[in-house]
A and B are shown apart, each in its own frame.
Chain A
């Protein structure tokens, strides 16, 4: 009996519930669209102050062992576009590049991790 009353009452809310679901779905889609689109870079002058906003993008990289290490360590100081924009190189070139980041630019990467990053680069950006 009480069940029945509940059913009857809740039936009243069906159109509203459907509407809410549609609104949520629509907002969700819209949200996705906004996320897909790169936000605009801006520039403004306020009196003596100049300000710009640049939104960097993260390029896609192939799945391969070591990808997560490569992406996290190599993006500390610079855009990963530094790597996506390179042609393929032999392993010894990647070895020298990663070593340079540690010895010259003082990146904090231990040698075991360096090797895994070099492995990744040699695999996805190796000499064709």
Chain B
């Protein structure tokens, strides 16, 4: 059991790292992109741009939260 939990923790730390919101944000953006692709609601060129903008938003949000956390700690 300890081996399993240890392995889980190792891979979680490795993939998620110290910014869980980045990993979570990537999954959410890809899931939305997959739904839009399946429904053919947007053309492929619009969809790729939208997904790219989504990743930018994920990093922007993560930086915003980090800056706010550090401002509060200071």
A in complex with B:
no
